[in-house]
Amino acid sequence: MVLCHGPVDRLQRIDVDDRTAWAGFNQGGRININNPNLFGGESREGGVSGPVDIMMGETGQGKNDYLVSRLGAQVPSFRGVVSAILRQCYLGMNPYLKPWSFRVQRVLKRGGGQSQWYPTKAPIGTVSRAALYFALDLSGSMNTDGRLDNMKAAAVSVLES
């Protein structure tokens, strides 16, 4: 499956029929999905399990060995696109293929694989289970004694932690 233009920084999640089959951080290579009960197991619609090769679409990316073994040496390297190669995965007990969706992140790489111009500030931090509120003070009271600078420093410190 070709997912999107690449390269990307990492794969974060794979959903099948709006259910999470795999979650984590993968920067390319093989992952193993082990969720045989995703759709209710053998008593219902099965699940998803098996090895999946994640190819990030780098400029120097080689051919996938599984695709070469199945389709021959004329298989392209799929550079410039992110792809997922399912290596004989178990896909449930349905007469149809359920829809797949992938969550990838591209912050630190630009098109063509070059790094961002300011990589230390490119990712926007997230603060789990907390909230950060910004109050806008239009009265001008924040302009004295470095108060605005202190507020900015505090916000940066929370986002970087």
Contact yes or no for 79/57 (Cβ under 8 A): yes
Instruction: Evaluate if residue 139 carries a pLDDT over 80.
Output: no
In whole angstroms, what is the distance from residue 58 CA to residue 111 CA?
10
Give the domain ranges of the chain: 2-111, 124-161
For 61-77, b/e burial (b = at least 16 CB within 10 A) is beebebbeeeeeeeeeb
HSE-CB for 49 with a 13 A CA cutoff: 11
pLDDT digits over 68-116, tens only? 999 999 999 999 899 999 999 988 888 888 899 999 988 887 776 677 7
